[in-house]
Structure 1
């Protein structure tokens, strides 16, 4: 899934930063990362034959959930042009990816509570029906017994479904 891929991207970035900080060269660090995660094979191949490595990172970033590889490619490019340490740049990228994952988890938990509240509110008509039945009334007979009841049932059902759909629409737009 895209979440698993995003986690692999972060792990890859951390692994590369650690290898480079420990003194390994980019070729060796990239070879290890490509061995651990096969989608990095084309990046390793580009590095070994002297092609556009940042471009290879950007191509690898097209996979669902792998957009963090664009940042790795950018760090690789900046390091190559300026001579700045690639390990430090990749460590910063890994920190950013980790912070992004943390933010996504917080958003997901907040959305879960909003969705649960919507479902709870959707169950309230059943509770009202049970209370009406328990007090000696027959709300179901009234709802199904004539045009006024049908209209109330249709309007209530429509508002209920519309509200649930709206909550889901809002949650999906936030997730994007």
Structure 2
């Protein structure tokens, strides 16, 4: 494995082995003002993400060092050139999957609360409304099961609220708890919660739409160097011979790959900042 392609393949394989540790996009938000029981899952998830980030960085450095010891600085450079983009792509893919799952959960929570509010408004008992809506909205299935055995549905919702995209269940739990404690009708409280969650979901969709172009631009900037290399070949040059087979070229390539990956991750992180979490 003395060729550049061989070292890049090895680095890519090491990157695949590290995918399980790619950290979440951002730490739990909106923790201030939450009860400890609601905030704890998000805090644990954020701490786990930091630990995984450290492990992945250490693993990547170790992989580069091992390759460097085995083949010298040139092999370490090839390993870095393969490892950094692979980990960056994995992080972007996992982050995208998390964002889609969170958006689906937010929409389902908002819809479930609206349906429960509608059923209560139509005269159905709140417990019966939750049980009925749970058949169509799986996010309420744990609450329906808790009501069936006489467990505390408020505690169930607060536990679920720690999951990504399910933060609206904390509002539902507070409305349920206050109405039960005060003996007040639950219909108006549920209507307010449902309306607030629908507005938040609409704002989230609007923000994601507005940020989509910025995210696409950041990713486009990351692939422009490859376009430049192609243009170099189109005019008769051989840029890869310089970039991969000379000391100066390898140094430039490593720095360029690192900066392009860092810029892509930074742009994606900035675009993910707005929104409700969990």
| Per-residue CA distance 1:108-161 (angstroms, 9 max, x = gap) | 334432332122112222232233333344333333453332322222222222
Distance 1:65 1:137, change over 3 A: closer
Contact 1:42 1:56 in 2 (8 A): no
The question of 1:96 aligning with 2:196 is answered yes
Counterpart residue number, 1:87: 187
Distance 1:35 1:144, change over 3 A: closer
The question of 1:123 aligning with 2:223 is answered yes
Taking CA–CA contacts closer than 8 Å with sequence separation of 6 or more, which of the two structures ends up with the larger relative contact order? 2
2:144 aligned to which of 27, 37, 41: 41
| Separation (CA, whole Å) in 1 of partners of 2:162 and 2:235 | 61
What SS is found at the alignment partner of 1:66?
Answer: coil
What SS is found at the alignment partner of 2:209?
Answer: helix
| Separation (CA, whole Å) in 2 of partners of 1:140 and 1:91 | 63
TM-fit CA distance, 1:59: 4.1
2:154 aligned to which of 50, 54, 59: 54
Greater gyration radius: 1
Q: Which TM-score applies when normalising by structure 1?
A: 0.75
TM-fit CA distance, 1:52: 4.8
Distance 1:150 1:27, change over 3 A: closer
2:257 aligned to which of 137, 153, 157: 157
| Per-residue CA distance 1:60-105 (angstroms, 9 max, x = gap) | 5455543322211211222234444311211111111112222222
What SS is found at the alignment partner of 1:7?
Answer: helix
| Separation (CA, whole Å) in 2 of partners of 1:39 and 1:95 | 23
**Structure 2: which 5+ residue stretches go unaligned?**
1-100
| Separation (CA, whole Å) in 2 of partners of 1:127 and 1:60 | 46
| Separation (CA, whole Å) in 1 of partners of 2:157 and 2:201 | 20
**Structure 1: which 5+ residue stretches go unaligned?**
none
Q: Which TM-score applies when normalising by structure 2?
A: 0.51
What SS is found at the alignment partner of 1:23?
Answer: coil
| Separation (CA, whole Å) in 1 of partners of 2:246 and 2:161 | 60
Distance 1:8 1:43, change over 3 A: farther
